[in-house]
Chain A
Amino acid sequence: MGNLFKIAIRNLLRYKRRTLLTASLITVGVVFVLVFISVSGSFKNMMIGQITDSMMGHLQVHRKGYVASIENLPLNLNLKSSAVTRLENILNKQQEITAYSPRIKFGGMFSNFVETTNIRLNGIYPDKELKTVPLLASRIIEGKKNLEKGGIWIPELLAKGMKVKVGDTIVVVATNKDGSVNGKQFIVAGVLESATGPGGRDGYVHIDDAIEVLRMEDIEISEVAIRLRDFGKLNAFSKKMDSLLSEELNQQDKPVFELHTWEKLSPFYNIARMIDVMTFFIKLMLIAIVLISIMNVMVMAVYERIREIGTIAAIGTLPGKILNMFVIEGFCLGIAGAVIGNIVGIALILILNASKITFNFGQQQGLILQANVTPANIAAISITVIIVSIIASLQPALKASRMEPIKALRHV
């Protein structure tokens, strides 16, 4: 076996320029895929992180039917306090959950005593909310990072449009589910940077204030946002929770709850999917590059060496060994391309990261590109290149191994 490698490598070195050209082609392909995967992957992760960590959480539980009309923030589809207790009992038992946050979501009118406009509000337990969506605190660009009763965090655009500052007094008026209207004065406690995605322009008040404005006799919750310890376990956990929650039935034997992952709630999931599709096609391109370039070189190698093949076949080299000789040659070429490609690719990614390239995502400005490659990525790319190299050299190698020695020896 070692000798087959020796012969293969010497044959590759025999046509240095051609080998170099082919290896560089594969290298370029590998570098391209590696950089693309890591940049798009980290962009995707950052995007997902922005959405889940600044407002959505990883998963959300609602009363069955709420999400279908989530745009209206229907107060009559809130979870009753008994259901909330049942839900919390389940959530408290899940090791995978690091935090969860019950919210009352409602729409209202926002007045600075001169003008009035619409606002969407979340009534929250501030400590629970900040644990569930940790980036929320960093979105507070003015004011205090803790929300006390009587305070309100308002979105940046609203603050600008209504010309209110931290410390100003404003009024929120809301209609409760029975149709009666109620108002309450708040002091602006903070101004929130807008975030891209659903809920990115909502205001926040303390949950007790929400109960008061909406004149709830008993607490009712619109949604519970959940944060997992390990985002990678999202799908497994979502399945498990789905089956746990489906056992919770109401008097009509219908499920009480519905569970959604961020993917189902955010349109950005489609962008993330698109990045995946693009990555897939770019990988396909790499496969095509490797396949065509190696097949081309190996077809040429077999053609140029017909008399050599005739000689070794006449001497008694078995067809299988001749096959191996050429497959190993393609294999070595693939390995060379993969190794150099990975080294160059990683170097390029390190340079990209060191140069701290910034980009904007929706309202978020100046996010720093932090591309990273996982060993799994490198392994997957390398294995793909190597397997494709072997497949590409198989046809020319088979041709070589099946050659009639006398015909091959006569070849000029």
Chain B
Amino acid sequence: MSLIAAENIHKDYKTGEVTVKALKGLNFAIAPASFVSFVGPSGSGKTTLLNLIGCLDKPTEGKLTVADTDVLHLSRKQSASFRGNNIGFIFQDFNLIPVLTVYENIEYPLLMVQSAPAAERKKRVTALLDAVGMIAQKDKYPDQISGGQKQRVAVARALVTNPKLVLADEPTANLDHKTAYMVIELMKKMRDEFGTTFIFSTHDQKIVGEAEIIYVLEDGELKGKEVKGGKNNG
């Protein structure tokens, strides 16, 4: 059973008279615990696709199932709950909450989205701080740490609720190559440790090599799929 199933996915953007066909009939399936990358040049539709998978937007046409849920028919509030319970997000600009410390940023989804009890929160946050190697910085604010460290915190925040799926739209675009590589390695390590499916998009060929399944996206169409081994190459 696949975690994500996309059948003939279309997405059109209408701006006034003009309609942009951002996605033109995509079909794919992603198995649990995969480490997947969507690669393509700017404007190829990566963000659009990740937004659809992440329940932030709805396809114009087609069928999309994420974690056994037909996401097409979710209401605004249902979508929010679905995201909060099943999906972690990592952003290109890190998007940490500036008024919260590293610890509080990681705790945020447990506290404000899932309302988890205090003891569990403490256990989970400490475990993830340790896993991403940020224990020493836990009381710092986002503007006191480096970009690479911010993205590690973001990885921890995305994983703290133990989601089935983590989506990362160009997570390394704002990082230097070495740091980018380390963040991708961290994501892979987390996949190994927690069995979470990771999907990230990138246009950086050097980073792409780290993915186990690579989909090539061009002009809103899937132009290829490369499987490089790994445990789950469904």
Write the residues of chain A forming the contact surface with B, with a CB cutoff of 8 angstroms: 3, 7, 10-11, 14, 307-308, 310-319, 321, 405-406, 409
Contact = CB atoms under 8 A, between A and B. Distances in A.
Shortest 5 CB-CB contacts between residues of A and residues of B: A316-B84, A10-B99, A311-B95, A316-B83, A316-B113
A409 B100 contact: no
Q: Which of A10, A314, A317, A409 gathers the greatest number of chain B CB atoms within 10 Å?
A: A314
B83 A315 contact: yes
Interface string B96-132: 0111100000001101110000000000000000000
Which of A10, A310, A316, A318 lies at the interface centre, i.e. has the most chain B CB atoms within 10 A of its CB?
A316
A11 B89 contact: no
B145 interface: no
Contacts of A316: 80-85, 87, 109, 113
Given A14-B99, A316-B85, A409-B91, A3 B112 contact: yes
Contacts of A310: 95
Contacts of A317: 80, 84, 112-113
Contact of A315 (B51, B57, B84, B93): B84
B76 A406 contact: no
Interface of B: 51, 54, 56-57, 76-77, 80-85, 87, 89, 91, 93, 95, 97-100, 108-109, 111-113, 157
A406 B56 contact: yes
Contacts of B108: 312, 315
Contacts of B85: 316
B112 A319 contact: no
A321 B83 CA distance: 15
B57 A406 contact: yes
Interface centre among A308, A315, A318 (most CB of B within 10 A): A315
A280 B39 CA distance: 67
A308 B86 CA distance: 20
A217 to B, nearest CB: 91
A3 B101 CA distance: 13
A69 to B, nearest CB: 75
Given A7-B99, A14-B98, A14-B99, A315 B109 contact: yes
B113 A315 contact: yes
A399 to B, nearest CB: 15
